[in-house]
Amino acid sequence: MAIIKDDNKEVTLEDGAEIKDACKDLGVVFGCEDGLCGTCMIEIEEGMENLSQPTQEEKDMGVEGNTRLACQCKINSGTVKIKY
Ligand code: FES
């Protein structure tokens, strides 16, 4: 079991699941959902090590540091805290 959360709410999901739907539940706004527009950029406050490696789309978008594209990440397990 894995958890995506922000300051106010947490969403439980399967290990290895895409985080997109959980992030939608938390209120993250999406656009293309293909890693092309950057709308879904989120800041990872805790648990970056629990996410999948950045995709080529994320690298092309210049994602670095503690930011990721919510439409591109999967959660391996554990808890990830986001800010957006
Ligand atoms: S929704 Fe466009 S990059 Fe994620």
Instruction: Quote the domain boundaries for residue 21.
Output: 2-83
Interval 6-64: pLDDT, tens: 999 999 999 999 999 999 999 999 999 999 999 999 999 999 999 999 999 999 999 98
Ligand 1 centroid–CA 71 distance in Å is 6
For residue 57, give the H/E element and its range.
Answer: helix 56-60
Residue 36 Cα to ligand 1 middle (Å): 6
SS3 content of the chain, % helix, strand, coil (to 5): 20, 30, 50
Which residues sit with their C-beta closer than 6 Å to ligand 1?
30-33, 35-40, 69, 71
Q: What is residue 64's predicted lDDT score, i.e. its pLDDT?
A: 87
Task: Report the domain count for the chain.
Answer: 1
CATH (domain of 39): 3.10.20.30
